[in-house]
Amino acid sequence: MVSWFRRKPSNPPGQSPAQAPEAEPRPDAQTPATVGADPHEAGLPAPAAPGKTGWLQRIGKLLNTDVAELLGRNPILDDDLLDEIETALITADVGVTASSELIEALRKRMKSREFADARALLKALRAELVALLVPVARPLAIDAGRKPFVIITVGVNGVGKTTTIGKLARRYKDEGRSLMLAAGDTFRAAAVAQLQAWGERNGVAVVAQGQNADAASVAFDALQAAKSRNVDVLIADTAGRLHTQGGLMDELAKVARVLKKLDPDAPHEVLMVIDGTTGQNAINQVRKFNEKIPVTGLVVTKLDGTAKGGVVFALAREFGIPIRYAGIGERPEDLRVFDAEAFVDAMLPETLGG
């Protein structure tokens, strides 16, 4: 069990963001627009403090199991050991299908006497987990020939879309790119203010029309402005929406259609943000969003302090959509390019790493 950076889950146990009652967007909210809000009022975390920034220090253990203890209970290679591992995988939200496929492959190899001992079997498991992620660990390459390179973030409520945009703004700025943000979440005044606060913090212009504006019109305006200013990257925020809300889901397709009037290839990246603590519901979310607006990349957030990040394996197996980044905290620097080996090593007990 890791003791660092444990935080309460953002949802009550057993309740995914998509099920949370307060997660419902409020298209009819009447709160007046707040412009230039204080970053703290807009719910932003305190400025970055120096500290643990590596994967290993921030990610909760996937196999929330003491391996020494597991090996103590099952020192020999037998079905009990495989049962224990399978339970650990399912508990970590790897998913029943992915877990049993992994276990059955190991069982075959065990029966053909490929492993000298239980530790060798666990090392083989590590290699299998890495192999599942390697095909999806494809970083987002910003094509400099497409100006601006248009990224749109989508996902259900509260998964970390706006925060991820703030982190990306910081990253791309550090890489020397010029960028602009579009406040396409027009349901809540606070959402516009939140993005503006991130923009101010990173010295990045934010195009906004305020609350209740048409999201597609904001995106259109922003792309026009980004083109005329010759900006490298435009990132558009969108309101969180449940994958079951038909009308709201259609709006995403409209945003994409409108962008194509100015650039037939836009958006160049549809980045779907997934809360890493969501569990298997994430599979359904991706399926439904992908039907409305083809998802080209995933960001899995909130991997800090959760022992449930196994959904990454289920997503990789089910869709093969590239996982671009991992969110491992609330600070601007808490975003990592997704790396299969680093992820598996961070999530497995040290005794298995390498």
Ligand X SMILES: Nc1nc2c(ncn2[C@@H]2O[C@H](COP(=O)(O)OP(=O)(O)OP(=O)(O)O)[C@@H](O)[C@H]2O)c(=O)[nH]1
User: Do 295 and 322 contact (CB within 8 A), yes or no?
Assistant: no
Residue 88: name the closest of 266, 291, 348 by CA. Answer: 348
Residue 301 binding target from Mg ion, ligand X, none, CB below 5 to 8 Å by type: ligand X
> Which listed residue (207, 266, 301, 317) binds ligand X by CB under 6 A?
301
| C-beta closer to Mg ion: residue 181 or 347 | 181
Going by C-beta distance under 8 Å and a sequence separation of 6 or more, which residues neighbour residue 352? 63, 67, 122, 123, 125, 126
Binding string, residues 266-305; x marks residues near Mg ion by CB under 5 A: ----------------------------------------
Phi, psi (deg, nearest 5) at residue 172: -70, -35
Q: Does 95 bind ligand X (CB under 6 A)?
A: no
Q: Which one of residues 86, 185, 251, 263 is an interface residue with ligand X (CB under 6 A)?
A: 185
Cα separation, 279 vs 281, in Å, equals: 5
Binder among 216, 231, 328, 342 for ligand X (CB under 6 A) = 328
**Residue 157 near residue 190 (C-beta atoms within 8 A):** no
Which range in 64-72, 91-99, 156-164, 221-229 contacts Mg ion by CB under 5 A? 156-164
CA-CA distance, 270 to 275, in Å (whole number)?
A: 16
Does 240 bind ligand X (CB under 6 A)? Our answer is yes
The 8-class DSSP code of residue 9 comes to -
Q: Which of 93, 263, 269, 304 binds ligand X (CB under 6 A)?
A: 304
Site for ligand X in 42-81 (CB under 6 A): 45
Residues forming beta bridges with residue 152, ordered by sequence position: 236, 270
Question: Contact positions toward ligand X, by CB under 6 A?
Answer: 7, 10, 45, 155, 157-163, 185, 191, 240, 301-302, 304, 327-330, 334
